[in-house]
Amino acid sequence: MEPRYTDLQDKTLLVTGASSGIGLRIAAALASGGARVVAQYKTQADPVLRLQEEHGALIHPHEADLSEEDGCVGTVRSAAEATGALHGMVHSAGIWNDGPIRELSRDTLETVFRVNTFSSYYLSREAARVMTAGSLVFIGSTAGQRGEPGHSHYAGSKGAVQSLVYSLAQELAPDIRVNLVSPGWVRTPMAEDALKARERDIVAAIPLRRVAEAEDVSAAALFLLSDVSRHLTGQDICCSGGALLPLPRG
């Protein structure tokens, strides 16, 4: 269970990708703690509507395609208009697919960057225009830190988000904090097929010997949203069970 931060109660927070996996877990945890959540989704309305049934007026569903600039602009405006202010954002929406470099198509490359990277820029721009203070949290990936064979397009898209966070943390200070959570393997629908095929090998490479659950990532995101982390900005919390630790030598 994620901790509850009382300072987030009654705040308006935007969560993208709120219909599945990490984003769904974050939206649910925030609403359970009394925050007003603008829950963005692209096509899967049902999980968000179920959240709304459970939490009532605390959940504001918003359908948008974040691969388009207009979708990002409309999402932030909807969040700000829901209650007259926007106090924070978690950008969790993203895609992951195969892309061996010898077979990488222009469409695959551009789609991954539009969804994962360009959306981060557009959402940041719009949030910075309407927020006077608060916290922006981005969901990165260990792939953006160390690369990932067969998925260089995905790794590059997340590496760019990491650089964006480092830049905006300086640009938007002192009023808006900007941080990153970089998960390794997480048990989500997006990773389901890969985990079925090779979970044993994946777990063997993780010092904590387990794949993360969505609540592990959500707990880190809520911490960064809260004023409990008020002196943290430009940080990357690597939520990977120690997967990026250097191997012992000798």
User: Is residue 154 among the annotated active site residues?
Assistant: yes
How large is the angle between the packed helices 69-83 and 119-130, nearest 10 degrees?
A: 30
Write down the catalytic residue from 5, 41, 122, 154: 154
Q: Cα separation of 196 and 75, whole Å?
A: 34
3-class DSSP assignment, residue 60: strand
State the amino acid at position 79 in one-letter form: A
- What Cα–Cα distance (Å) separates residue 147 from each residue in 95, 143, 205, 238? 16, 5, 16, 14
Residues 76 and 69: their CA atoms lie apart, in Å, by: 11
CB 237 within 8 A of CB 220: yes
The answer to whether 160 and 204 are in contact (CB under 8 A) is no
Q: Do 214 and 25 form a contact (C-beta atoms < 8 A)?
A: yes
CA distance 155 to 143: 5
Residues identified as active-site: 154
